[in-house]
Chains A and B, each alone.
Chain A
Amino acid sequence: MGIPNQIRIELFRQMIRAQVAENSILRLIDAGKAQVLYHSARGQEAVSAGAMLALRNDDSMFYGHRGVGHLLTKGVNPTLIFGDILGTTAGSTGGLGAGIVHVVDPSVGVLGQSGTVGGTFPLAAGVALAAHYRGTDQVVLCMFGDGTANRGTFHEAANAVGAWGLPVIWLCENNGYAVSVSQSESTPITDLSIRAAGYGMPGVIVDGQDVELVYAEVLSAVERARQGLGPTFIEAKTIRFRGHFEGDPQNYRTDSDRDFDAIDPIVKQRAKLISEGICTLEATQQIVDECESEMELAIEAALAAPLPSVARAFEGVLS
């Protein structure tokens, strides 16, 4: 039972959208137009694209601080994202300048993001509890990194979700580093997914550089959750190509001699589509061109919107 060709192409397109959007953000930062602390997702696009395409529009997700691809694939209009990056009123937060961290769009199941990492674990449990309470078959996907996996909030949330059989997919993007500290320095285990056993849920490992494998694994966890069979812990082994933040000297890395091209999820998927005759090289290039146009238009719209009035900073505190 393979993945339909249309979806295999879409997985590629979603990775390109993430990459193009990120490049656009980096250009806006370089040009001095955006003043945000940006966390690159280069190298990890297969995880966001594969995971988010496995969800329905009415499923919820909590993303991480490398979330540009997650947001785009879940269905957030790119103008809202660029508006939040630029701090204009075109952003999802209407000019609060949320960056990537606090983008919101409940109409596509994006319920915001915690600035304190790991803050979303209990919230994800609560959103899943609400689905269970209402008797819907919606699921919640909660993304986090290997560093965030060490927060105590994970224990409390995963334990309750396991005990109550709630529809949560815990998806760990394990890129090996919590800012500068490697996983081996901070945890006694290599595979974080073995923790799942302690919460009575399946724990699986997936190659996070292969978008089709990520998609298939998340889809099967989503189906389990929809059927009322409870949560799954998926550990996607991945790698970030750039620093934790832009400007990170990365002097702590021991993997900088790796051939990133060989493990680039986008390169890999393009080669696969072409070699299997699903797409021509030209067709993949056309996808890139389309994504570039899409992002250009979104940036124009976001730039065209004004900065908010100072009063905006004081609005929306209370209902």
Chain B
Amino acid sequence: MTAADPDLELAERVRAGERAAFDVLVRRHQKGMWRLIRRYVKSDADAADITQLAFVRAFRGLTGFRGTATVRSWLYRIAINCALSWLRDHRREQPAEIAEEALVDDNPAPAALAAGDDRARLRKAIAQLPPKQKLVLELRVFDDLSFREVAELADCSENTAKVNFHYAVKRLRDILGGEHAL
């Protein structure tokens, strides 16, 4: 519920002219926004730049915030838009996706190798999900958003978000089960 949004009061204070309230919002959400953006751009430095840009846009646009969504989902929407815009502008500069296997240490212990292998397969499976299911799954699992916030960001109803989430996990199980079978 918007009434229970813990960031709403901060947003109101910023709108009333209290600059320091925005610093609190930044401290509260910069990690989440950076992680969200990092999943899009594959570069730590680029993710940091885009996070900064997203906060600047949020600060300038806060006067137009209507409170229909939570402040967090509103910030995350800006972050996603900034990331997508950045991707459009830097499409040619993006390196081909590095194979997950290449990210594993050169001489890992057998247990670490197995764990790394599982993680790699899981990430690969997530990458194979349809865009909407992938978005819903990541927002829910990695960003810890409520289904309402997920629905706001995925432009769908809360029930649709729940169903998409179900089919995303089901598909992951199918992908991982198929790979195990191989």
Do A and B make up one complex?
A: no
Spell out A's residues near B (CB within 8 Å): none
